[in-house]
Structure 1
Amino acid sequence: MNLHGLTLNEARHINLSLHYLERVIQALSRKGTHHVPYRNSMMTFILRDSLGGNCLTAMLATLSMLHVNLDESISTCKFAQRVCLITMNANVNYLPSPEKEIDYLRSEIKRLKKQINETNNANKQLTEQEKDECMFAIKQYLLGEDDFVMINDMRKVKYCIEFMRDKLSLMTKELESQNLRSTLDIKRKKCMDEMESKYKQIIEQKDEEICILLNKT
Protein backbone atom coordinates (compact mmCIF):
# COMPACT_ATOMS: atom_id res chain seq x y z
CA MET A 1 0.00 0.00 0.00
CA ASN A 2 1.42 3.35 -1.04
CA LEU A 3 0.70 6.20 1.37
CA HIS A 4 1.10 9.86 0.52
CA GLY A 5 0.73 13.22 2.22
CA LEU A 6 -1.18 13.46 5.48
CA THR A 7 -1.92 9.73 5.63
CA LEU A 8 1.79 8.93 5.38
CA ASN A 9 2.60 11.41 8.12
CA GLU A 10 -0.06 9.96 10.42
CA ALA A 11 1.11 6.40 9.75
CA ARG A 12 4.67 7.40 10.58
CA HIS A 13 3.62 8.93 13.91
CA ILE A 14 1.49 5.89 14.76
CA ASN A 15 4.34 3.50 14.06
CA LEU A 16 6.73 5.65 16.10
CA SER A 17 4.32 5.68 19.05
CA LEU A 18 3.93 1.93 18.82
CA HIS A 19 7.72 1.60 18.76
CA TYR A 20 8.02 3.63 21.97
CA LEU A 21 5.20 1.60 23.50
CA GLU A 22 7.13 -1.55 22.66
CA ARG A 23 10.22 -0.18 24.44
CA VAL A 24 8.15 0.63 27.56
CA ILE A 25 6.63 -2.87 27.57
CA GLN A 26 10.08 -4.43 27.22
CA ALA A 27 11.44 -2.34 30.11
CA LEU A 28 8.50 -3.25 32.35
CA SER A 29 8.66 -6.96 31.53
CA ARG A 30 12.38 -7.22 32.40
CA LYS A 31 13.24 -7.57 36.08
CA GLY A 32 15.77 -5.18 37.54
CA THR A 33 15.04 -2.35 35.10
CA HIS A 34 15.53 1.00 36.82
CA HIS A 35 14.44 3.31 33.99
CA VAL A 36 11.24 3.08 31.96
CA PRO A 37 11.09 5.50 28.97
CA TYR A 38 7.56 6.83 29.50
CA ARG A 39 8.43 10.31 28.23
CA ASN A 40 9.51 9.27 24.75
CA SER A 41 6.01 9.82 23.39
CA MET A 42 2.72 11.36 24.43
CA MET A 43 0.92 8.01 24.28
CA THR A 44 3.31 6.24 26.67
CA PHE A 45 3.24 9.23 29.00
CA ILE A 46 -0.57 9.17 29.12
CA LEU A 47 -0.60 5.38 29.63
CA ARG A 48 1.97 5.56 32.41
CA ASP A 49 -0.48 4.78 35.24
CA SER A 50 -2.21 2.09 33.20
CA LEU A 51 1.02 0.30 32.34
CA GLY A 52 3.05 0.43 35.54
CA GLY A 53 0.95 2.24 38.09
CA ASN A 54 -1.84 1.39 40.50
CA CYS A 55 -4.29 0.07 37.90
CA LEU A 56 -5.76 -3.15 36.62
CA THR A 57 -5.19 -2.99 32.86
CA ALA A 58 -6.66 -5.32 30.23
CA MET A 59 -5.19 -5.60 26.74
CA LEU A 60 -7.28 -6.42 23.67
CA ALA A 61 -5.32 -7.78 20.68
CA THR A 62 -6.93 -7.92 17.20
CA LEU A 63 -5.66 -10.69 14.94
CA SER A 64 -6.23 -11.52 11.31
CA MET A 65 -6.58 -15.10 10.12
CA LEU A 66 -5.53 -14.26 6.55
CA HIS A 67 -2.27 -15.74 5.36
CA VAL A 68 -0.98 -12.39 4.15
CA ASN A 69 -1.29 -10.99 7.71
CA LEU A 70 0.37 -13.96 9.43
CA ASP A 71 3.56 -12.08 10.31
CA GLU A 72 1.64 -9.18 11.82
CA SER A 73 -0.57 -11.58 13.80
CA ILE A 74 2.50 -13.38 15.21
CA SER A 75 4.07 -10.03 16.11
CA THR A 76 0.86 -8.98 17.89
CA CYS A 77 0.79 -12.24 19.87
CA LYS A 78 4.40 -11.78 20.97
CA PHE A 79 3.62 -8.23 22.03
CA ALA A 80 0.62 -9.44 24.06
CA GLN A 81 2.81 -12.11 25.66
CA ARG A 82 5.31 -9.49 26.77
CA VAL A 83 2.47 -7.43 28.22
CA CYS A 84 1.39 -10.45 30.29
CA LEU A 85 4.83 -10.54 31.90
CA ILE A 86 4.27 -7.17 33.54
CA THR A 87 3.52 -7.50 37.27
CA MET A 88 0.86 -5.13 38.56
CA ASN A 89 0.22 -4.42 42.24
CA ALA A 90 -3.14 -2.72 42.21
CA ASN A 91 -4.39 -1.30 45.50
CA VAL A 92 -7.69 0.29 46.37
CA ASN A 93 -7.36 4.05 46.65
CA TYR A 94 -8.63 5.17 50.02
CA LEU A 95 -10.67 8.33 49.86
CA PRO A 96 -11.72 9.40 53.37
CA SER A 97 -15.13 10.86 53.77
CA PRO A 98 -15.35 14.56 54.72
CA GLU A 99 -17.01 13.68 58.03
CA LYS A 100 -14.16 11.37 59.05
CA GLU A 101 -11.61 13.94 57.94
CA ILE A 102 -13.32 16.62 60.04
CA ASP A 103 -13.41 14.33 63.09
CA TYR A 104 -9.72 13.54 62.66
CA LEU A 105 -8.80 17.22 62.40
CA ARG A 106 -10.88 18.06 65.47
CA SER A 107 -9.18 15.36 67.52
CA GLU A 108 -5.78 16.53 66.28
CA ILE A 109 -6.57 20.13 67.25
CA LYS A 110 -7.71 18.96 70.69
CA ARG A 111 -4.51 16.98 71.17
CA LEU A 112 -2.31 19.91 70.14
CA LYS A 113 -4.18 22.31 72.44
CA LYS A 114 -3.69 19.89 75.32
CA GLN A 115 0.01 19.65 74.53
CA ILE A 116 0.30 23.45 74.44
CA ASN A 117 -1.44 23.74 77.82
CA GLU A 118 0.87 21.12 79.32
CA THR A 119 3.88 23.02 77.98
CA ASN A 120 2.62 26.30 79.41
CA ASN A 121 1.95 24.72 82.79
CA ALA A 122 5.34 23.01 82.91
CA ASN A 123 6.99 26.08 84.47
CA LYS A 124 4.44 26.48 87.28
CA GLN A 125 5.49 25.46 90.76
CA LEU A 126 3.79 22.52 92.42
CA THR A 127 1.65 23.07 95.47
CA GLU A 128 2.24 21.18 98.70
CA GLN A 129 -0.78 19.01 97.98
CA GLU A 130 0.56 18.13 94.54
CA LYS A 131 3.96 17.29 96.04
CA ASP A 132 2.24 15.00 98.56
CA GLU A 133 0.47 13.28 95.66
CA CYS A 134 3.84 12.76 93.96
CA MET A 135 5.35 11.30 97.12
CA PHE A 136 2.38 8.95 97.47
CA ALA A 137 2.81 7.84 93.85
CA ILE A 138 6.55 7.22 94.40
CA LYS A 139 5.82 5.21 97.53
CA GLN A 140 3.24 3.09 95.73
CA TYR A 141 5.70 2.50 92.89
CA LEU A 142 8.54 1.47 95.19
CA LEU A 143 6.30 -0.87 97.15
CA GLY A 144 5.02 -2.45 93.94
CA GLU A 145 1.37 -1.83 94.79
CA ASP A 146 -1.24 -2.90 92.27
CA ASP A 147 -3.16 0.37 92.66
CA PHE A 148 -0.22 2.45 91.45
CA VAL A 149 -1.23 6.05 90.77
CA MET A 150 -0.71 7.13 87.17
CA ILE A 151 0.70 10.65 86.70
CA ASN A 152 -0.44 12.59 83.64
CA ASP A 153 0.94 16.00 84.61
CA MET A 154 4.42 16.63 83.22
CA ARG A 155 5.27 18.88 86.17
CA LYS A 156 4.61 16.03 88.58
CA VAL A 157 6.57 13.61 86.42
CA LYS A 158 9.53 16.00 86.43
CA TYR A 159 9.29 16.41 90.21
CA CYS A 160 9.22 12.64 90.75
CA ILE A 161 12.22 12.11 88.47
CA GLU A 162 14.23 14.83 90.22
CA PHE A 163 13.31 13.43 93.65
CA MET A 164 14.36 9.89 92.69
CA ARG A 165 17.57 11.18 91.10
CA ASP A 166 18.52 13.14 94.25
CA LYS A 167 17.79 10.13 96.47
CA LEU A 168 19.84 7.85 94.24
CA SER A 169 22.74 10.32 94.21
CA LEU A 170 22.63 10.56 98.02
CA MET A 171 22.53 6.77 98.41
CA THR A 172 25.46 6.43 96.01
CA LYS A 173 27.52 8.92 98.01
CA GLU A 174 26.69 7.16 101.28
CA LEU A 175 27.64 3.81 99.80
CA GLU A 176 30.92 5.21 98.52
CA SER A 177 31.60 6.71 101.95
CA GLN A 178 30.90 3.36 103.63
CA ASN A 179 33.19 1.59 101.20
CA LEU A 180 35.89 4.16 101.89
CA ARG A 181 35.53 3.73 105.65
CA SER A 182 35.62 -0.02 105.26
CA THR A 183 38.80 0.24 103.19
CA LEU A 184 40.41 2.51 105.79
CA ASP A 185 39.44 0.12 108.59
CA ILE A 186 41.02 -2.79 106.71
CA LYS A 187 44.22 -0.83 106.12
CA ARG A 188 44.31 0.32 109.78
CA LYS A 189 43.83 -3.22 111.04
CA LYS A 190 46.56 -4.47 108.73
CA CYS A 191 48.92 -1.77 109.96
CA MET A 192 48.11 -2.56 113.61
CA ASP A 193 48.74 -6.27 113.00
CA GLU A 194 52.09 -5.49 111.41
CA MET A 195 53.08 -3.24 114.32
CA GLU A 196 51.94 -5.85 116.83
CA SER A 197 53.99 -8.53 115.08
CA LYS A 198 57.01 -6.25 115.00
CA TYR A 199 56.73 -5.41 118.71
CA LYS A 200 56.34 -9.08 119.55
CA GLN A 201 59.55 -9.84 117.71
CA ILE A 202 61.33 -7.04 119.58
CA ILE A 203 60.02 -8.29 122.93
CA GLU A 204 61.06 -11.86 122.16
CA GLN A 205 64.53 -10.64 121.18
CA LYS A 206 64.84 -8.65 124.41
CA ASP A 207 63.70 -11.66 126.42
CA GLU A 208 66.40 -13.76 124.82
CA GLU A 209 69.04 -11.14 125.59
CA ILE A 210 67.89 -10.98 129.23
CA CYS A 211 68.07 -14.77 129.54
CA ILE A 212 71.59 -14.80 128.14
CA LEU A 213 72.70 -12.14 130.59
CA LEU A 214 71.11 -13.98 133.53
CA ASN A 215 72.86 -17.22 132.58
CA LYS A 216 76.20 -15.52 132.44
CA THR A 217 75.79 -14.08 135.85
Structure 2
Amino acid sequence: MPAAAATTAIPTRSRAPSFVSVSSPSTTSSNKLRLGSCFRSGGRVHSGCGRLRASHAAALGGVPLVGPEDGVGLVESRTIARVVGGRSEVCESGWGREEAIIRLDSSIFGPEALFGLDGFSHLEVVFFFDQVDSSEIDMGARPVPGRHDGTLVGIFAQRSRFRPNRLGVSRCRITSVNDLDVHVSGLDAVTGTPVLDLKPYVREFGPRGEIQQPEWASTLMRDYY
Protein backbone atom coordinates (compact mmCIF):
# COMPACT_ATOMS: atom_id res chain seq x y z
CA MET A 1 0.00 0.00 0.00
CA PRO A 2 1.41 3.44 -0.92
CA ALA A 3 2.11 5.81 1.93
CA ALA A 4 -0.25 8.76 2.48
CA ALA A 5 0.66 12.05 0.79
CA ALA A 6 2.73 14.42 2.93
CA THR A 7 1.44 18.00 3.23
CA THR A 8 3.32 21.12 4.24
CA ALA A 9 1.20 24.14 5.20
CA ILE A 10 2.51 27.67 5.68
CA PRO A 11 0.07 29.73 7.80
CA THR A 12 -0.42 33.47 7.24
CA ARG A 13 -1.76 36.43 9.20
CA SER A 14 -5.32 35.82 8.06
CA ARG A 15 -7.91 33.83 10.01
CA ALA A 16 -9.50 32.78 6.75
CA PRO A 17 -8.22 29.68 4.96
CA SER A 18 -5.16 31.51 3.61
CA PHE A 19 -2.21 29.26 2.96
CA VAL A 20 0.12 27.68 0.53
CA SER A 21 0.16 23.91 0.67
CA VAL A 22 2.14 21.34 -1.23
CA SER A 23 0.97 17.76 -1.25
CA SER A 24 3.57 15.23 -2.33
CA PRO A 25 2.51 11.82 -3.60
CA SER A 26 4.36 8.71 -2.61
CA THR A 27 6.91 7.47 -5.12
CA THR A 28 5.46 5.14 -7.72
CA SER A 29 7.16 2.76 -10.11
CA SER A 30 6.60 5.18 -12.98
CA ASN A 31 7.75 8.17 -10.90
CA LYS A 32 5.20 10.39 -12.67
CA LEU A 33 3.00 13.13 -11.22
CA ARG A 34 -0.37 13.57 -12.91
CA LEU A 35 -1.87 17.05 -12.66
CA GLY A 36 -5.22 18.49 -13.59
CA SER A 37 -6.09 22.19 -13.56
CA CYS A 38 -9.04 23.89 -11.93
CA PHE A 39 -9.81 27.48 -11.01
CA ARG A 40 -12.36 29.28 -8.92
CA SER A 41 -13.15 32.92 -9.69
CA GLY A 42 -16.21 35.07 -9.32
CA GLY A 43 -17.99 32.36 -7.35
CA ARG A 44 -17.65 29.85 -10.18
CA VAL A 45 -15.41 26.82 -10.42
CA HIS A 46 -13.78 26.43 -13.83
CA SER A 47 -12.25 23.10 -14.65
CA GLY A 48 -9.67 22.58 -17.36
CA CYS A 49 -9.01 18.91 -16.64
CA GLY A 50 -9.38 16.88 -13.51
CA ARG A 51 -11.90 17.63 -10.76
CA LEU A 52 -11.87 20.19 -7.95
CA ARG A 53 -12.95 18.67 -4.67
CA ALA A 54 -15.49 20.71 -2.66
CA SER A 55 -13.22 20.88 0.40
CA HIS A 56 -10.51 22.54 -1.65
CA ALA A 57 -12.89 24.79 -3.58
CA ALA A 58 -14.25 26.17 -0.31
CA ALA A 59 -10.77 27.28 0.72
CA LEU A 60 -10.13 29.26 -2.44
CA GLY A 61 -11.06 32.79 -3.45
CA GLY A 62 -9.99 33.85 -6.94
CA VAL A 63 -7.18 31.34 -6.65
CA PRO A 64 -5.71 28.93 -9.17
CA LEU A 65 -5.53 25.32 -8.20
CA VAL A 66 -3.24 22.96 -10.04
CA GLY A 67 -3.96 19.57 -8.88
CA PRO A 68 -5.83 16.72 -9.01
CA GLU A 69 -7.96 13.96 -7.99
CA ASP A 70 -7.39 10.82 -5.92
CA GLY A 71 -4.63 12.47 -3.88
CA VAL A 72 -2.08 12.37 -6.69
CA GLY A 73 -0.75 15.89 -6.14
CA LEU A 74 -1.92 19.36 -5.11
CA VAL A 75 -0.72 22.95 -5.32
CA GLU A 76 -2.82 25.77 -3.92
CA SER A 77 -1.94 29.44 -4.23
CA ARG A 78 -3.91 32.30 -2.68
CA THR A 79 -4.41 35.69 -4.33
CA ILE A 80 -1.95 38.02 -2.59
CA ALA A 81 -3.04 41.29 -4.20
CA ARG A 82 -5.32 42.94 -6.75
CA VAL A 83 -4.66 45.38 -9.56
CA VAL A 84 -6.38 48.70 -8.85
CA GLY A 85 -6.88 51.30 -11.55
CA GLY A 86 -5.60 51.32 -15.10
CA ARG A 87 -7.68 49.74 -17.83
CA SER A 88 -10.96 47.96 -17.30
CA GLU A 89 -10.91 46.18 -20.66
CA VAL A 90 -8.24 44.16 -22.44
CA CYS A 91 -6.61 45.90 -25.39
CA GLU A 92 -3.64 44.83 -27.50
CA SER A 93 -1.81 48.17 -27.71
CA GLY A 94 -0.61 51.14 -25.65
CA TRP A 95 0.04 49.34 -22.36
CA GLY A 96 3.19 51.36 -21.74
CA ARG A 97 1.08 54.44 -20.95
CA GLU A 98 -1.01 52.71 -18.29
CA GLU A 99 -0.56 53.42 -14.59
CA ALA A 100 -2.02 51.22 -11.87
CA ILE A 101 -1.62 50.10 -8.26
CA ILE A 102 -0.92 46.57 -7.05
CA ARG A 103 -2.58 46.49 -3.62
CA LEU A 104 -1.61 43.71 -1.20
CA ASP A 105 -4.32 41.88 0.74
CA SER A 106 -4.30 43.51 4.19
CA SER A 107 -5.72 40.37 5.81
CA ILE A 108 -2.48 38.56 4.99
CA PHE A 109 0.28 41.17 4.76
CA GLY A 110 1.58 44.22 6.52
CA PRO A 111 3.72 47.00 5.01
CA GLU A 112 6.87 45.08 5.94
CA ALA A 113 6.21 42.68 3.07
CA LEU A 114 7.25 45.49 0.71
CA PHE A 115 10.26 46.78 2.65
CA GLY A 116 13.15 47.40 0.25
CA LEU A 117 11.11 47.06 -2.94
CA ASP A 118 11.51 50.79 -3.66
CA GLY A 119 15.22 50.12 -4.25
CA PHE A 120 14.35 48.39 -7.52
CA SER A 121 13.22 50.00 -10.74
CA HIS A 122 11.18 47.13 -12.18
CA LEU A 123 8.84 44.42 -10.96
CA GLU A 124 7.86 40.97 -12.20
CA VAL A 125 4.18 40.22 -11.65
CA VAL A 126 2.51 36.80 -11.79
CA PHE A 127 -1.25 37.07 -12.16
CA PHE A 128 -4.38 35.12 -13.03
CA PHE A 129 -6.42 35.79 -16.20
CA ASP A 130 -9.72 35.68 -14.33
CA GLN A 131 -11.72 37.04 -17.29
CA VAL A 132 -10.84 34.05 -19.47
CA ASP A 133 -13.54 31.38 -19.41
CA SER A 134 -12.56 27.72 -19.35
CA SER A 135 -14.25 27.24 -22.74
CA GLU A 136 -11.70 29.65 -24.30
CA ILE A 137 -8.57 27.83 -23.12
CA ASP A 138 -6.20 26.54 -25.80
CA MET A 139 -4.53 23.17 -25.29
CA GLY A 140 -2.96 22.83 -28.73
CA ALA A 141 -2.15 25.30 -31.52
CA ARG A 142 -3.83 28.23 -33.23
CA PRO A 143 -3.11 30.32 -36.35
CA VAL A 144 -0.28 32.81 -36.05
CA PRO A 145 -1.83 36.23 -35.25
CA GLY A 146 -1.83 38.54 -38.26
CA ARG A 147 -1.01 35.80 -40.76
CA HIS A 148 -3.47 34.13 -43.09
CA ASP A 149 -1.40 31.30 -44.53
CA GLY A 150 -2.59 28.67 -42.08
CA THR A 151 0.65 28.58 -40.08
CA LEU A 152 0.00 27.26 -36.57
CA VAL A 153 1.80 28.07 -33.34
CA GLY A 154 1.44 26.04 -30.13
CA ILE A 155 0.06 27.54 -26.93
CA PHE A 156 3.50 27.29 -25.31
CA ALA A 157 5.13 29.15 -28.23
CA GLN A 158 3.03 32.28 -27.69
CA ARG A 159 1.97 34.60 -24.86
CA SER A 160 -1.77 34.26 -25.35
CA ARG A 161 -3.96 34.74 -22.27
CA PHE A 162 -5.97 31.63 -23.21
CA ARG A 163 -3.45 29.38 -21.47
CA PRO A 164 -4.12 26.03 -19.75
CA ASN A 165 -3.56 27.46 -16.25
CA ARG A 166 -4.48 31.06 -17.17
CA LEU A 167 -1.31 32.47 -15.64
CA GLY A 168 0.14 35.75 -16.84
CA VAL A 169 3.67 37.07 -16.26
CA SER A 170 4.49 40.73 -16.81
CA ARG A 171 7.30 43.17 -16.12
CA CYS A 172 6.54 46.78 -15.28
CA ARG A 173 8.21 49.87 -13.84
CA ILE A 174 7.87 50.69 -10.13
CA THR A 175 6.98 54.36 -9.67
CA SER A 176 6.53 54.31 -5.89
CA VAL A 177 5.79 52.08 -2.90
CA ASN A 178 3.38 53.28 -0.22
CA ASP A 179 2.14 51.14 2.67
CA LEU A 180 0.47 48.13 0.95
CA ASP A 181 0.42 49.75 -2.50
CA VAL A 182 2.94 49.31 -5.28
CA HIS A 183 2.42 52.01 -7.91
CA VAL A 184 3.48 50.81 -11.36
CA SER A 185 3.44 51.82 -15.00
CA GLY A 186 3.29 49.58 -18.04
CA LEU A 187 1.51 46.66 -16.36
CA ASP A 188 -0.61 44.81 -18.93
CA ALA A 189 -3.32 43.62 -16.54
CA VAL A 190 -6.77 45.16 -16.10
CA THR A 191 -8.20 46.53 -12.87
CA GLY A 192 -9.36 43.82 -10.49
CA THR A 193 -6.89 41.21 -11.77
CA PRO A 194 -5.84 38.72 -9.04
CA VAL A 195 -2.08 38.84 -8.40
CA LEU A 196 -0.34 35.65 -7.27
CA ASP A 197 3.26 36.77 -6.76
CA LEU A 198 5.60 39.76 -7.00
CA LYS A 199 9.35 39.71 -7.54
CA PRO A 200 11.79 42.57 -8.06
CA TYR A 201 13.44 42.37 -11.46
CA VAL A 202 17.16 41.67 -11.11
CA ARG A 203 19.26 42.07 -14.25
CA GLU A 204 21.31 38.97 -13.53
CA PHE A 205 18.16 36.89 -13.93
CA GLY A 206 17.61 38.30 -17.42
CA PRO A 207 18.32 36.27 -20.58
CA ARG A 208 21.94 35.41 -21.35
CA GLY A 209 23.22 35.68 -24.89
CA GLU A 210 21.46 36.93 -28.00
CA ILE A 211 17.66 36.91 -28.01
CA GLN A 212 15.94 35.36 -31.01
CA GLN A 213 12.25 35.46 -31.92
CA PRO A 214 10.10 34.97 -35.06
CA GLU A 215 9.23 37.97 -37.19
CA TRP A 216 5.52 37.53 -36.46
CA ALA A 217 6.19 38.02 -32.74
CA SER A 218 8.05 41.29 -33.36
CA THR A 219 5.23 42.51 -35.62
CA LEU A 220 2.58 41.57 -33.06
CA MET A 221 4.39 43.40 -30.25
CA ARG A 222 5.23 46.55 -32.23
CA ASP A 223 2.47 48.67 -30.65
CA TYR A 224 1.78 46.55 -27.56
CA TYR A 225 3.50 48.93 -25.16
Query: TM-score by structure 2 length?
Result: 0.19
Query: TM-score by structure 1 length?
Result: 0.20
| Structure number with higher helix proportion | 1
**Rg larger in 1 or in 2?**
1
- More RCO (CA 8 Å, sep 6+): 2
| Structure number with higher strand proportion | 2
